[in-house]
A and B are shown apart, each in its own frame.
Chain A
Amino acid sequence: MTDSRTHVETQILSVERPFRFESGDIIPRLDIAYETYGSLNERRDNAVLIEHALSGDAHAAFYHEGDRKPGWWDCMIGPGKAFDTDRWFVICSNVIGGCKGTTGPSSVDPATGKPYGLTFPPMSIRDMVEVQRILLKHLGIDKLKCIAGGSMGGMQALQFFCDYPFQFESFICIASAMKHSAQQIAFNEVGRRAIMADPRWNGGNYYGAAPPEGGLSVARMIGHITYLSEQMMQEKFGRIRKDKESRAVFRPSFEVEHYLDYQGVSFVKRFDANSYLYITNAIDNFDLRSSLSSRGRFRGHGRQRGQHMEDMRSKRGLVISFTSDWLYPSSQSKEIVQFFTALNVQVSYTEVATEHGHDAFLTDYHQPSEIIQGFLSSLSEKSPSPCRTSIGS
């Protein structure tokens, strides 16, 4: 086999009607970038929705023509992998507010003919979910086997599952939280401040000019520190210096400085600074519990709480955390388990031992793959119909 690589292209769904945000703001039209892997069966009941994290996109798996690197979760999605594309029809789309094909602050506002910039409405995790509902409708899928994601992807999975429990048989939430802690908000805020302190940011109005690369790369550098564990950083870089001869003052000299610099520089090539602001803002404002009980809630199935809870009963959930993840510590995953267990969702929880910190959700695929495969298989065996009746009834 010379080329076992499977190629894929990002599709764009153009929605030529207004989209209303949770905030009440409206944009006149919307693009949704998405990819699919595997095939939808005749009963249209083998779909799995994958949710990406802060810097992810619709390209979750396989290769784009001419690319050397596959999608961001290729280790988990593909034939025989955790999300086995021989069995499941896997869908992933770029979030609203992003910059990888779905409408966001860098998209052109039809009203002005210019990019939205900061006139783009502030969006929430729930808005991300609503946009994906439009996509699912377009694909003709009502009921999904599973919704899965890590980090911010886990938040979307939880929100989607809670707002529309009748659409899903199960959820998988990896290295995520019910809401951000003060520390998590603080790190995001430092990242946002770095962007906004860059004079090139210019109040978000930099399209057509030089983007605030300095600020965005600092934001990414901070992010990367929080994604790794102290131990892993020490093992990988220690105090090794790259150019011992260099006499220049305050130039990157330690290996770790070069690493962060590289991460920052490569990020600015592929990411929009305003999207970074909007998405981190959505993450910080996410609070699952209060979003489900808030009075102003106008979306989601079952506004009367009782009906809503009944839909969740006996659904299945899987929560995974990583021992060395200090950004999204296991205690936050355990809180998710307790929350859903109290709602009678059948939730399993496992903590994977790893040194790779928060990044483990993207890199440590071996143990999670076994678990996820087992979980998804047990779903199809145990409950042939996507909507099980509740236990004891």
Chain B
Amino acid sequence: MVHKISSQNYPIIQEWIDRGSRVLDLGCGDGSLLEALVNTKQVDGIGVEISHDMILKCIQKGICVYQADIDKDLSEWVDGSFDYVVLNATLQVITRPYKVISEMLRVGRFAVISISNFGYARNRMRVLSQGRVSSRVRLSGCWHDTPVLRFVSIREFISSLEEIGVEIMDARYFFPMNIVSRSRWPLYNLLAREGIFKLRRA
């Protein structure tokens, strides 16, 4: 699983999520985000995970987890079951992102999605100089075995959200040297490594 960039987002997600709300964390990994949210925001949280090893870790921590394939099994949750549905550092492994985003906003009032920016300058340089999508760009593995299927830039992602009728309520952009900005700076699609978005239906 790809969780390299996930934990830097925890403080932002914690800031966004209201105390005591119901949270579904898609691709929850070892449950550390939910654990943080339970501790700081007393949320009622459930993780969705496909890997047995990760599920075991969640259960050992006392984190509630549901074994499922995000691409297929979200239909089991009733409309509006959650306040927040989180997809942190997981969009890149999803087969049908539009379906998943629309499902997130069906089962939850708000969605939180973080993405790694394929349009980031260093990624562009790596592709340009090496002539291939290296594992640094891809986040993990080789072309044939990586779980990462989706390469999206922040600009593309934002225009896609508009296209599918999803409104950005709040966002953070991660620039080099640990600079985090709320607003889209000039050249953000070139300079931001990652972005995280709080979303709702427009």
Contact = CB atoms under 8 A, between A and B. Distances in A.
Interface of A: 316, 318, 334, 337-338, 341-342, 344, 346-353, 367, 370-371, 374-375, 377-379, 381-382, 391-392
Contact of B56 (A342, A344, A374): A374
Interface in B16-66: 19-20, 42-44, 46, 52, 55-56, 58-62, 64-66
| Interface class of chain B by DSSP | mixed
A318 B66 contact: no
Given A374-B56, A391-B43, 12 more contacts: A341-B46, A344-B44, A346-B44, A347-B64, A347-B66, A349-B65, A349-B67, A371-B56, A374-B59, A375-B59, A378-B62, A391-B20
B135 interface: no
Contacts of A382: 62
Contact of B64 (A342, A346, A353, A367): A346
Name the 3 nearest CB pairs between A and B, nearest first: A378-B62, A392-B20, A374-B60
Contacts of A392: 19-20, 42, 44
B66 A337 contact: yes
A348 to B, nearest CB: 5
Most buried by A among B46, B59, B61, B73: B59
Contacts of A347: 64, 66
Contact of B59 (A318, A338, A342, A351): A318
Nearest to B19: A392
B44 A348 contact: no
A334 B77 CA distance: 10
B60 A338 contact: no
A87 B137 CA distance: 49
Nearest to A382: B62
Interface in B59-81: 59-62, 64-68, 73, 76-78, 81
B44 A391 contact: yes
A316 B58 CA distance: 13
A351 B50 CA distance: 9
A347 to B, nearest CB: 7
A383 to B, nearest CB: 8
B62 A381 contact: yes
A351 B62 CA distance: 18
Contacts of B56: 370-371, 374
A375 B62 CA distance: 7
A346 B42 CA distance: 13
Interface size class of B (residues with CB under 8 A): 20 to 34
Contacts, number: 62
12 contacts: A316-B64, A318-B59, A338-B76, A342-B78, A349-B67, A350-B59, A367-B52, A370-B56, A371-B59, A378-B59, A382-B62, A392-B44
Contact of A348 (B19, B42, B58, B78): B58
Contacts of B43: 391
Contacts of A342: 78, 81
Contacts of A318: 59
A341 B81 contact: yes
A22 B95 CA distance: 51
Contacts of A370: 56
A368 B82 CA distance: 28
A117 B73 CA distance: 47
A349 B48 CA distance: 9
Contacts of A316: 62, 64
Contacts of A349: 65-68
A316 B59 CA distance: 11
B79 to A, nearest CB: 12
A348 B56 CA distance: 10
B59 A348 contact: yes
Contact of A334 (B19, B20, B42, B76): B76
Contacts of A375: 59
